[in-house]
A and B are shown apart, each in its own frame.
Chain A
Amino acid sequence: MKTCLILDYGVGNVESLSNFLRYQKYNVDYGKSRNEILSADLLLLPGVGSFKTAADHISVEMRELIKLRHELCRPILGICLGLQILYSGSEEAETCQGIGIFLGKVERLKDFSRIGWDKINFDKDTELSGKYFYFNHSYAVPHLVNTDRSYKSISGGYDSIVVQKKTLGVQFHPEKSQEAGSDFLKWAEDRVWSMNA
């Protein structure tokens, strides 16, 4: 069984994620130590919450550890807020710093919030093409040209999946996307985290 460390930064639907991951055959743990952050098979940054609350709970040391994990090509999954916190900053909290793996600033949505189900626009047919995922956000990540891969949602036109090395951020909630969520995790394991760096 693989281990997943959920980075608990005070906000986030950690119980939902635990429930989801246990059914996906992960041993779920919470922790913040250097060893725990670097050694887990998967590091998960949860969603639900504001950028400021998350940023306030991530210390400089923890930020550096997450960046180191990224550089070492160890799998990281950021969900919703967990994706946004991987960027340098956000319009939601101008004075707060993100982790800075993706160099860009998270932006307020023009239509204030996107709550509901949407498809992802993949370049070619994948196992996830045509599936609906659950979104719930009022800020979105900017499109960056220097990521390895990124895919937009069909109706919003915002980046909804961003990949750089083995760091994978998603704007939707796989844990709340019913069977599409399980399909996504399998896709991530096969198409992102298992690939040779």
Chain B
Amino acid sequence: MLKRIGASLIVKSKLIVNSYNFKLHLPVGKLNHTINRLQELRVDEILILNTSHSAKPASDFQELLKECNNFKLSTPIAYGGGIESHQDANSVIRSGADRVVISLKTLLNQPAFSKINEVLGEQAIILHLPIDIVGDNVQIFGYEKFSLDQISSKIPTNWGGEILISSVQQDGAKLPNLELFDTCVMQLGRNLKYIFTSGFSTSTEILNALDNDFVSSVAIGNFLHRSELSIRKIKQGISSKIEVR
């Protein structure tokens, strides 16, 4: 199974944005152009994270996907934004997503989390943990009362889903914090599978991240929207070290 090179698309008000420290969002363009381009460049998967979602995630997702009706969308899509129940999750999948991205809020609602697992299967779920460093503490953005150990205890042993780790400090920066990612893996558990995002812009950084046995994917964010970079170039850059598609 190949390690994946994916794209992380942050959406606000139906537009793709460049995100900086989770606070500043600058519009980049329409979803359909970007998805079409990424697909042509053979991106392995696309994560769509909707920051301006409503209480009806499936409707939001359908609205976004409408723009992609004029081409054959045949790339794996994971969608996140307001998914809090199995009904939400199933509706999003039925609308065209292959996996759902849920937040810590949904994990903490353990009956809802269990039901999503039961209905969709573990492999269809990505748990997003945005990591914030406050002083010497590593914590989840917006959930300062919870330690990573406490969060780890809520995730089933040998869970087949994946954990998406992003970093507030590295969001929009041009350098990933691999040490922080390693800390998260150590504290959350080595029996889980991880997707790293935030700050990736070079083949070397991506190779270093994928060198971690527990990392199954790196998702590139803001840097993908710069014209000189393409998924294809990144893949070419790492193809001498690991097998890519």
Residues on A facing B (Cβ under 8 Å): 10-16, 19-20, 23, 48-50, 52-53, 81, 92, 109, 112-118, 132, 134-139, 155-156, 173, 175-179, 181-182
Q: 7 shortest A-B CB distances, which residue pairs?
A: A113-B160, A138-B160, A15-B96, A112-B160, A23-B72, A113-B123, A138-B123
11 more A-B residue pairs beyond the given contacts A15-B96, A135-B1, with a C-beta to C-beta distance below 8 A: A12-B93, A13-B98, A19-B72, A20-B74, A50-B119, A53-B118, A112-B158, A112-B191, A116-B4, A132-B2, A178-B42
Assess whether B146 is interfacial by the CB under 8 Å rule. Answer: no
Q: How far is the CA of A14 from the CA of B77 in the complex (A)?
A: 14
Q: How far is the CA of A136 from the CA of B97 in the complex (A)?
A: 13
What residues of B have a CB within 8 angstroms of the CB of A113 in the complex? 122-123, 160-162, 193
Q: How far is the CA of A173 from the CA of B39 in the complex (A)?
A: 16
What residues of B have a CB within 8 angstroms of the CB of A175 in the complex? 74
Assess whether B159 is interfacial by the CB under 8 Å rule. Answer: yes
Q: How far is the CA of A51 from the CA of B95 in the complex (A)?
A: 20
What residues of B have a CB within 8 angstroms of the CB of A81 in the complex? 121
Instruction: Tell me what chain B mostly uses at the interface: helix, strand, loop, or mixed.
Output: loop
Assess whether B90 is interfacial by the CB under 8 Å rule. Answer: yes
Which of A16, A92, A181 is the one whose CB lies under 8 Å from B98?
A16
Contact present for A19 and B73 (CB under 8 Å)? yes
Contact present for A117 and B75 (CB under 8 Å)? no
Contact present for B162 and A176 (CB under 8 Å)? no
Instruction: Tell me what chain A mostly uses at the interface: helix, strand, loop, or mixed.
Output: mixed
Q: Can you pick out 13 interface pairs between chain A and chain B where the beta carbons lie within 8 Å of each other?
A: A13-B96, A15-B95, A15-B96, A19-B72, A19-B96, A48-B98, A49-B93, A53-B118, A112-B122, A115-B123, A117-B4, A117-B245, A178-B39
Contact present for A11 and B74 (CB under 8 Å)? no
Segment 64-122 of B: residues with Cβ below 8 Å from A = 65, 69, 72-77, 90, 93-99, 118-122
Against A, the Cβ 8 Å flags (1 = close, 0 = not) of B149-164 are 0000000001111100
